[in-house]
A and B are shown apart, each in its own frame.
Chain A
């Protein structure tokens, strides 16, 4: 791509709220049920039905708004957005046009080089999800599943503040982190809990006016988001540099071909004919309610990250990794609360634990080594019961389900560290006596040979000797 174009990106992120039931009906909002078994008369838009708002959507939307420093609308109203599509049986979507619940706010993202950038949020509004259309061949017809129809959504609209695909992905990940921290959404992208529409345009570097944008809809993974934007940037650059014009249009990303394609444009321009939803009254959101939500909010990821760094003394990188997911952060903090050693806990959680979770593709909530077991291992390293090397064996044993008690396992397997000098001395003496050549080398200044002796002692004790003590003992013996 030539250097004279500036990329301008804005994202609309649809987040499914993690409620038990739907936004306007008492149908279950659980993912993955048999088609249309969670579609009630209201979700099907049968005549005579009326929507009743689920109260759980407000604390979630407000928590998100407070989390990004936004204004919360004092009155929350719904509007109708009219369009025709079979997976929207009413013929309109109930959404918020004029009075969204969340106005303004901003999100700080961290770029690859570690610098921070602020992305402004325009608004976030509540709305209902549509059903699903299945275009596989049903004798030339389309299949409709309305289980998803009426799932509550928060649509988060950003300002066009991002300048690269990487920034857009970083922003989307930050939003994902925030909504999962705040239990606004389960954030499970494989189930469509977070979907992105990317508005992409190019303009000459230094220009004020934005270029014509395209909107790539319904991207459901961070990897696809990056690929879709990169494809659009290359495509638009080529069009503009060959003297062409960008058509304002909606496109779809095809992961199999790694390209975006225009959706078939309707002959008639879209006209949503918004108007206030006559079936629903305004909901008044008073300060007391907002204060209650604020009081029940957990620590935000950015605050946690800062606290891990300043109060616990973790490196910037460790603080970032350990605060990246609420489950991981909670695990780490539970562990620190028991073992009181943030640095050692950070090393174990970042190293062996995350390594194991990645290797076996396990979620932290299902970790075979609980935070309590992890802390128990660390405590036994701290009090000298086991060496760091043996601790890894204990960790693996718990991981593999060989035991669920760290202490029992250490005792039953005889892993207690040999640290009394009365136990180690005879072993060291014997090894020095059996290896006179190496002992002579050491005494003549070849101190590297110390490693050989330590290795022999560790072998003899099956790794249970306290390495530092072995070191000291051998040196003092050889220098005698």
Chain B
């Protein structure tokens, strides 16, 4: 995949990051380099090899269905920029 400046702007928008125009070129080059590395790895023959999504040969440990968390709203909201009636306030979003 070709990483163009357009692709970088699109990704920035998807993740809601504000990117200065001045940084776009550098980011584009950086992402091109990352994908070039991936392309290099693509050259390896992986026929018949199971995809590995995790390096640990283990299965997930599970947790019993029990409440172990206490209400720490006051603590968490002490660092929130804006709260009201127990809610976190964020810039208005309406679909």
Contact = CB atoms under 8 A, between A and B. Distances in A.
Are A and B part of the same complex? yes
A226 to B, nearest CB: 23
A21 B67 contact: yes
Interface string B52-70: 0110101111111111110
B53 A282 contact: yes
B42 interface: no
Interface string B38-60: 00000000000000011010111
Interface string A136-152: 00111111111000000
Nearest to A19: B65
Interface residues of B, number: 38
Contact of A26 (B69, B77, B88): B69
A36 interface: yes
A146 B71 contact: no
Contacts of A91: 15
A141 B92 contact: yes
A21 B73 contact: no
A44 interface: yes
Contact of A134 (B66, B71, B87): B87
Given A21-B68, A84-B16, A268-B13, A138 B88 contact: no
A55 B65 contact: yes
B59 A141 contact: no
A142 B90 contact: yes
B31 interface: no
B93 interface: yes
B91 A141 contact: yes
A21 B86 contact: no
Contacts of B77: 36
Contact of B59 (A19, A140, A146, A284): A284
Interface stretch (A175-183, A270-278, A342-350, A408-416): A270-278
Interface stretch (A27-35, A203-211, A330-338, A374-382): A27-35
B69 A133 contact: no
A41 B70 CA distance: 10
Interface in B1-32: 10, 13-16
A362 interface: no
Interface size class of A (residues with CB under 8 A): 35 or more
Nearest to A268: B13
Given A37-B73, A143-B88, A146-B88, A264 B67 contact: no
B95 A252 contact: yes
A28 B65 CA distance: 10
A19 B86 CA distance: 24
B73 A282 contact: no
A407 B63 CA distance: 50
A448 interface: no
B82 interface: yes
A30 to B, nearest CB: 9
B13 to A, nearest CB: 5
B73 A39 contact: yes
A55 B61 CA distance: 9
A111 interface: no
B89 interface: yes
A135 interface: yes
Contacts of A58: 62
A35 B62 contact: no
A28 B71 CA distance: 10
Contacts of B82: 141
Contacts of A21: 65-69
A392 B64 CA distance: 49
B85 interface: yes
A26 B54 contact: no
Interface string B68-82: 110111001100001
B65 A54 contact: yes
Interface of B: 10, 13-16, 53-54, 56, 58-69, 71-73, 76-77, 82, 84-95
Interface of A: 19-21, 25-28, 34-41, 44, 46, 52-56, 58, 77, 82-86, 91, 133-135, 138-146, 252, 263-264, 267-268, 271, 273, 276, 278, 280-284
27 contacts: A20-B65, A21-B67, A26-B63, A34-B86, A36-B86, A36-B88, A38-B69, A39-B73, A40-B69, A41-B72, A52-B63, A54-B63, A54-B65, A55-B65, A85-B93, A133-B93, A135-B93, A135-B94, A141-B92, A143-B84, A143-B89, A144-B88, A144-B90, A268-B13, A276-B54, A283-B60, A284-B59
